[in-house]
Amino acid sequence: MIEHAPVAEKVPTERSTHGDVYIDNYEWFRDKANPELIEHLEAENAWTRERTRHLDPLRDQIAREFSE
């Protein structure tokens, strides 16, 4: 069992918009082809699936009800 949710690395990137400057720690999420981002998202998805596995029967029931 995966004990803790994956934590995204913070990579401070300075951005300026309309003269306001701020730090975006997750700018690197914009690069959809980044292997590190893909790995992180897959780890988050695996953790979520594991933590919500007990809801599978309910999820299946709701899906059946929507398809009726």
User: For the chain, how many structural domains are there in total?
Assistant: 1
Domain assignment present for residue 4? The answer is no
CB-based contacts of 30-37 (< 8 A; 24+ apart in sequence): 36/9
In the predicted model, what is the mean pLDDT of residues 12-24? Answer: 96
Q: Is the pLDDT of residue 1 over 80?
A: no
In the predicted model, what is the mean pLDDT of residues 20-24? Answer: 97
Q: Is the pLDDT of residue 52 over 80?
A: yes
Domain assignment present for residue 1? The answer is no
Q: CA-CA distance, 18 to 59, in Å (whole number)?
A: 45
- Residue 3's pLDDT is what? 85
Q: Which residue has the tokens 């980044």?
A: 34
- Residue 22's pLDDT is what? 96
In the predicted model, what is the mean pLDDT of residues 5-21? Answer: 96
Range of the domain at 36: 13-67
Domain assignment present for residue 61? The answer is yes
Domain assignment present for residue 48? The answer is yes
